[in-house]
Amino acid sequence: MKAKSTIIGRIDQIDLPEFDMFDLGCKIDTGAAISALHCHSVKLVERDGVEHLYFKLLDKKHPQYQGEFYHTTDFRERKIKNSFGQEQTRFSLTTQVVLFGETYTTEFTLADREKMLFPILIGRSLLKNRFIVDVAKSNLSAKQKAKTSR
């Protein structure tokens, strides 16, 4: 028997526990195959024959900006089509996301979303077979989290 899908609105808040970031605003985008995280100062450094990816999440305008470099050796380059239909190569990584009190492991591309309203975009790879999007609703996960933390 198929598990029941959860209704999610057009925008919400997520937690990224591996980055110690919580209640981050995100846009739900069924047009995007992969989720995206706003980052900058991306650097690829080779040490002892191993490639290390360094990056900073969010930016100085965001209240949760920590200004620190994160780094991983577990990443890949992936070709994507941006919102203008142009092909780009971006780095991607896999991390944990918390929505509706559940933890999911999903892939994010690292993208400059500075000019976007939301620093995080949630795409189909996370939504598929888990969520039904109702664009008339918003912040359903955040509201549920607020109720359970009282």
The pLDDT tens digits of the residues spanning 84-120 come to 788 999 999 999 999 999 999 999 999 999 999 999 9
Write out pLDDT tens, residues 4-51: 899 999 999 999 999 999 999 999 999 999 999 999 999 999 999 999
The pLDDT of residue 2: 55
Number of domains into which the chain is organized: 1
**What is the reported pTM?**
0.91
The pLDDT assigned to 15 comes to: 98
Enclosing H/E stretch for 28 = strand 21-28
How confident is the model at residue 1, as a pLDDT? 43
Written as six digits, the tokens of 110 are 């690292």
Owning domain of residue 97: 6-37+77-148
Residue type, 80: I
- 90 lies in a domain? yes
66 assigned to some structural domain: no
Whether residue 44 is contained in a domain is answered as no
Q: Tell me whether residue 67 is in a domain.
A: no
| Phi, then psi, of 78 in degrees rounded to 5 | -140, 140
CA–CA dist 119, 63 (Å, integer)? 12
